[in-house]
Amino acid sequence: MTPLRVLALAVGLTLTLSLSVLGSGCLLSLFDKEAERRATDEHFILLGNEVAPDGKSRIIVYQYDTGAFGYSRVWWAITPESFRELNLAKFELPDGYIAEGWSPEGELLISKWTPYYFAEGEERKVELDTGDMVHERKIRIVEKKESK
């Protein structure tokens, strides 16, 4: 094998490995709990945006378009009124809870569910009860709304 051929193979292998690591890192960062998720992200899809009765908070429901893989899981974030520049990951509800809306008194209404990505028998890492505070809002646990 000529030295030029060895060099070409080494460069090709290095480039392939670099792209593989970079590509998988980008995909993994989308689902990494420590990752930043913002409304300004290129593939961000806003599914819901409901302001609290007092106007100080809002429920943001969102997911990402992951291209060939389809759509990502859905997140529910409880943010201050202005949310465009925030890292939404810091305002998300714990896994296993869905924001259902607001009570007339301004309580955050949430329901429990078992996420499809939980392993069989896996329990929620956080247990919430009516009266607890989540992102500066008092919560009330309610029954899950039926899908429309």
Q: Rounded to 5 degrees, what are φ and ψ at 45?
A: -125, 115
- The answer to whether 88 touches 37, Cβ cutoff 8 Å, is yes
Both tokens of residue 40? 């300004």
User: What is the reported pLDDT for 3?
Assistant: 53
- The answer to whether 87 touches 36, Cβ cutoff 8 Å, is yes
- Reported as a single tens digit per residue, the pLDDT across 75-131 is 999 999 989 889 999 999 999 999 999 999 999 999 999 888 888 888 889 999 999
Q: What is the DSSP string of 91-118?
A: GBPPTTEEEEEE-TT-PEEEEE---TTS
- Reported as a single tens digit per residue, the pLDDT across 110-126 is 999 988 888 888 888 99
pTM, 2 dp: 0.72
- Reported as a single tens digit per residue, the pLDDT across 17-68 is 333 333 433 343 444 556 799 999 989 999 999 999 999 999 999 999 988 8
Q: Where are the domains of the chain?
A: 1-32, 35-141
CA distance 110 to 37: 21
6 pLDDT exceeds 80?
no
Rg (CA), the chain: 21
Both tokens of residue 10? 């080494």
pLDDT confidence bin for 4, thresholds 50/70/90: low
